[in-house]
Structure 1
Amino acid sequence: MTPADPSPPQAALETALRAALGPQPGGPVGIAVSGGGDSMALMVLMAEWAARHGIALAAVSVNHGLRPESRAEIAAAAALAARLGLAHDTLHWQGARARGNLMDAARQARRSLIAAWAQERGVQAVALGHTLEDQAETLLMRIARGSGVDGLAGMAPARRWGGITWLRPLLTTRREALREVLRGCGADWAEDPTNADPRFARARTRRAMAQLGLDPARLARSAGQMAQARDALSQAALDAGGGILRMQAGDALLDRAGLEALPQELRERLVAQLLCALSGQPYRPRLQALRRALAAPTRATLHGCLLTWQPRTLRIAREWKAVAGLCTPVDALWDGRWRLHPPPGTPATGHSIRALGRAIDRLPVAAAPTLPQSSLMASPAVWRGTELVAAPLADPGSRWRASCRQGPLDLLRGALSH
């Protein structure tokens, strides 16, 4: 085997990465590795890809503290990374006693920890080890939940969230082919016992697939066809939205008559995609929750946003409670879309950006903003400790300026990426 003649798993990975990152990827790329066979093989394949293209790689593992074996598995991942000449970091989750859906909490924590790690390291994209079988299992699990087109489209090969791109370059590769990659280079791997534990939905789905003789490749192909249908519907919804959407200081305003004239599928899809674009959340809300919000007589909260029906418009704005805890330096992007600009000569030291919130009551009575109070409470303000320095959107007389990077076209493009 020569570098010009890659193995099928290697060729599939390179095709997926080229589609997601372009022919000349810029910046370092990360690999999330658990010690299991899929992610260990991913690291081997990514190392070969990086050597071909001169790309810097870094590996990261998250110890959730849920299983005593995790420490040894991560140590094995670190050892393989060292053998491949890759930097490796281990992150720790402290929420192992979280209430509710523990596995979902662990997934969310893992994603947030890795996103913070990537931003700190300057990593632009992180690769995950999901396989063709994972895609097939996801499709069946979502069928069981009654998912619509978007859910049945399965996992996307690339998705933006948390300021980075999450890559799944192995979605067309079988698990056994990845085990062969590891055997070929003499690398070992761990088997996660939860993969065979019937208490977990994915393990039950995996067993049902085997019992029914379902072909994972055909199921994954169905997910791909649903993804094409989803993309066509999303584009149709956004084409319709271009004629009925306008922005007001970061809020999205949809013409009510135009929105209600759309077919239900396009109407719901457009609103869901705008909710994702405004909130920065990677996945659209559950369909029933969305329908309840749209059926509310006056207002509803969903996905970190406030939907308000007005006589001629549907206003979609950020919900104050969703941004109340956000705090950034004044020279940073706040809530993923706002920048504040100080008056000339004003030092930034000691200032931060937080939501205006209930401090709206401190503003001069003479101020007459055009935005609803709920939108103003969720708007960015300049603080020095507990002192409110400026609220550019709520106080027209403020010398500070606020600019939102999302105009109508930007918002629609952002919506299409979700």
Structure 2
Amino acid sequence: MSGTKSLDQRFADAMGQLLGPDFPTDIALAVSGGGDSMAMLTLAHNWAHAWGVRLWVVTVDHGLRAESAAEAAMVAEECTLLGHPHAILRWHWDGQGNLMDAARRARLSLIDRWRGGLEHVLMAHTQDDVAETFLMRLKRGSGVEGLSAMRASLTVQPHAGDMHDMAPVDVCWTAQPPMPTQKGGGVSANSNGFRLLRPCLDMTRAELRHYLRTLKGRWVDDPTNEDPTYDRARIRKLLDLLGAEGLGCDTLSDTAHRMSRARQALHARARDVAGRIVTEECLNGLGTGALLIDRNGFAETEEDTRLRILAESLRWVASAEYRPRAQALEQLAERLLSGGQGTLHGCDLRCLGNQIRVGREFSAVSAPASMGQIWEGRWQLYGASAKGASLRALGSDGLKQAGGRPEGAPAARLLYPLPAAFLGEVLVACPHLDYGEGMIREGSGRYSSFTASFERH
């Protein structure tokens, strides 16, 4: 059916499915200058003109190639011609970790900090991207979760920091996005993240470039897409060979979407079981950020569901974006089933009586946070009395200052990751130990509860 429709109509249909029938007044687009994103910009321009939606375009300049600044400037020129405000956000890699993963994380973080009150961000992932990702994950030995197609709509959680953290040279915009509205308690409307939308997933790269050529549009080709040192570039070449054998983008993409259906069913089962066997640990009436899993229920659950519950538990406790690798997860589950313990994904797991406790690993907790910042994806300082304080893990010294481990609490070392407010080295508040006055509350971080975490996926 899609082959009989124009790309403009297919784009309009996709936007209707993702957002309709009541479209927001303002939408953001992430445009790199490549063929896919420039085609999406043109499609969105035509669609927005018909529906009265205002577009805000952003380009993240990763600064990894000499040409990147000129490419960002080209996007800015096109936006000026089309009449859309445009921003360039420049990223400076610190040389740490995997470059491609760091660049992807930086792109989402910068967009999140730039967007103000914009709640939807369009990205131009295509059917080719679905097929390439499927093969890359197949190469890594991924299961149903990893082989599932990227979703057309998902929530991206807010990242630490705001635009004030960026030097003036890092931001160049023609207009500032609208500021978020304020909800009750002074919490901004953008605190729960933004919706990343992919309206071009049923379109191929070739179709989008043909669309641009027909309209005499501009775009740039990133040479890294042809660089064999990158996995995706090698997979892209392999797809040409596989296509000749009937394993083209359409076939692989269809398989990935079938995997998505299977993932949804398996996830629903895991969510149902988790609701019965997983509870949030509380101390002094407050959630500690740790989880308790019923050991018998965990052991009686089928392996796939068991691993999904364990993976989601680790993600929630660590406020992590991704689940751990399958092999490490399987090994940890085996140790827990035999009554053992272990650490994974920044979490400490151990069997305590008839429960498995999943808590934060003290050595992996976040650096101290100041007023207005979210610490460990959950807590923040508040109130006039917290001025000048830092929010960090309680630690052994803080526990001593609080009077030691209270009766009925977990072992002392399991209390070390608790949130605590310090003035210098002096403990001034730790609500979980009923020490000090307030000063710490759960903020609008990554997840409000374990149940909410499960509902998001």
Structure 2 length-normalised TM:
0.80
3-state SS of the aligned residue for 1:285? coil
Match of 1:109 among 99, 106, 114: 106
Query: Offset of 1:333 from its aligned partner?
Result: 4.8
CA distance in 2, matches of 1:284, 1:269: 9
2:319 is the counterpart of 1:277: no
Match of residue 200 from structure 2: 170
Structure 1 residue 391 corresponds to structure 2 residue 430? yes
DSSP-derived class of the 2:431 partner: coil
Q: What amino acid sits opposite 2:376 in the alignment?
A: D
1:98 maps to a residue whose letter is G
- Amino acid paired to 1:167: L
Question: Corresponding residue for 2:131?
Answer: 136
Code of the residue aligned with 2:318 in structure 1: it is S
Give the TM-score taking structure 1 as reference length.
Answer: 0.86
Counterparts of 2:233 and 2:276, CA distance in 1: 46
Q: What is residue 198 of structure 1 aligned with on the other side?
A: 228
One of 150, 156, 159 as aligned partner of 2:154: 159
The alpha-carbon deviation at position 209 of structure 1 amounts to 1.6
Structure 1 counterpart of 2:352, one-letter code: Q
Q: Distance in 2 between matches of 1:146 and 1:36?
A: 30
Q: 1:312 to 1:75 in 2, by over 3 A?
A: same
Count how many residue pairs are aligned between Structure 1 and Structure 2. Answer: 404
1:24 aligned to which of 22, 25, 34: 22
- Paired residues of 1:29 and 1:126 also in contact (CA < 8 A): yes
1:246 paired residue among 279, 301, 322: 279
Q: 1:364 to 1:284 in 2, by over 3 A?
A: closer
CA contact (8 A) 1:157 1:171 kept: yes
Residue deviations 1:178-201 (CA, integer Å, cap 9, x gap):
123323443210111121222222
**Contact (CA 8 Å) 2:60, 2:90: kept in 1 or not?**
yes
Q: Which amino acid aligns with 2:135?
A: L
Name the CA shift for 1:374/1:81 in 2 (closer, same or farther; >3 Å): farther
Which residue type is aligned with residue 232 of structure 1?
Answer: A
Distance 1:189 1:229, change over 3 A: same
Distance 1:54 1:319, change over 3 A: farther
Given the superposition, is the C-alpha separation of residues 337 and 362 from structure 1 closer, same or farther in structure 2, using an over 3 Å criterion? Answer: same
Rounded to whole Å, the distance in 1 between the matches of 2:105 and 2:448 is: 30
Using the alignment, how far apart are the partners of 1:35 and 1:409 within structure 2?
A: 37
Task: Summarize the alignment of residues 201-216 of structure 1 with structure 2, pairs less than 5 Å apart.
Answer: 201-212=231-242, 213=244, 214-216=247-249
CA contact (8 A) 1:368 1:396 kept: no
Contact in 1 for aligned 2:371/2:382 (Cα 8 Å): no
Q: After TM superposition, give the deviation of residue 359 of structure 1 in Å.
A: 4.1
Cα deviation, residue 142, structure 1: 1.3
How far off its partner does 1:339 sit?
5.4
- Matching of residue 286 in structure 1 with residue 325 in structure 2: yes
- Deviation readout 1:297-319 (Å, 9 max, x if unpaired): 54333233322222211112233
Opposite residue 286 of structure 1, the aligned amino acid is: R
Q: Report 1:26-175 matches (<5 A).
A: 26=24, 28-95=26-93, 98=95, 101-118=98-115, 121-163=116-158, 164-175=194-205
1:300 aligns with 2:342: yes
Task: Tell me the CA shift for residue 417 of structure 1.
Answer: 1.9
